[in-house]
């Protein structure tokens, strides 16, 4: 099994492809509304986990560590649903993707970088405005930078989940042959 650039897929590539294309999570991302809901839940869980981590590290609060650990399992589940909805678009190596998937990955990455530009602009204006207003910003530098880092890290996943398209409902071989025949006739 090789891709268009003729580099052979490794066992790792094949395992990851099979993992990312499993259908157990399909009911959670079958429609655009469900995918949006999962992405919003993921954003909320990320935000809560980030706040808990900051309380644990900066505030030295013991409860925050347990809260963060409690949020880990639902966060991982939501991440898996988003990855399943995109068929592993961001997790698979480029050699395991076809031409269309590589173009989609580039599009998602560009959209995520564009969105991050606005997040960074808002953080810069917010911190600059706070400094100009006479507020002490030194205590907020680490939490704001950490928050921006987390958003930068996860933005491509969120954008991919929000922009994923519905898959055709193909349950039987007749449906697949019908779609293939229609594509060949076009």
Residue-wise pLDDT tens digits, 146-159: 999 999 999 999 99
Report d(CA 83, CA 16) in Å as an integer: 11
Assess whether pLDDT exceeds 50 at residue 182.
no
Predicted pLDDT of residue 186: 45
Whole-prediction pTM: 0.78
Query: Across-strand partners of 2?
Result: 8
Predicted local confidence at residue 170, as pLDDT: 53
What is the average pLDDT value for the chain, to the nearest integer? 84
Q: What integer pLDDT is reported at residue 179 of this predicted model?
A: 45
Output the 3-class SS for the chain. Answer: CECCCCCECCHHHHHHHHHHCCCCCHHHCCCHHHHHHHHHHHHHHHHHHHHHHHHHHCCCCHHHHHHHHHHHHHHHHHHHHHHHHCCCCCCCCHHHCCHHHHHHHHHHHHHHHHHHHHHHHHHHHHHHHHHHCCCCCHHHHHHHHHHHHHHHHHHHHHHHHHHCCCCCCCCCHHHHHHHHHHHHHC
Asked if residue 72 has pLDDT above 90, the reply is yes
What mean pLDDT comes out for the span 59-76?
Answer: 92
């Amino acid at each position: 099994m090789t891709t268009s650039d003729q580099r052979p897929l490794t066992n790792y590539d094949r395992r990851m492809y099979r993992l990312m294309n499993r259908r157990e999570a399909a009911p959670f991302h079958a429609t655009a509304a469900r995918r949006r809901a999962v992405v919003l839940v993921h954003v909320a869980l990320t935000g809560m986990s980030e706040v808990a981590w900051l309380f644990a590290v900066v505030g030295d609060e013991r409860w925050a560590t347990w809260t963060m650990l409690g949020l880990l399992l639902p966060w991982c589940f939501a991440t898996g649903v988003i990855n399943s909805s995109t068929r592993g678009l961001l997790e698979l190596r480029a050699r395991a993707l076809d031409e269309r998937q590589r173009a989609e990955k580039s599009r998602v990455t560009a959209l995520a970088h564009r969105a991050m530009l606005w997040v960074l602009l808002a953080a810069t204006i917010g911190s600059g405005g706070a400094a100009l207003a006479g507020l002490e910003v030194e205590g907020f530098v680490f939490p704001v930078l950490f928050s921006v880092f987390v958003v930068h890290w996860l933005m491509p996943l969120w954008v991919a989940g929000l922009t994923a398209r519905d898959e055709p409902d193909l349950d039987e071989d007749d449906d697949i042959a019908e779609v293939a025949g229609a594509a060949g006739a076009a």
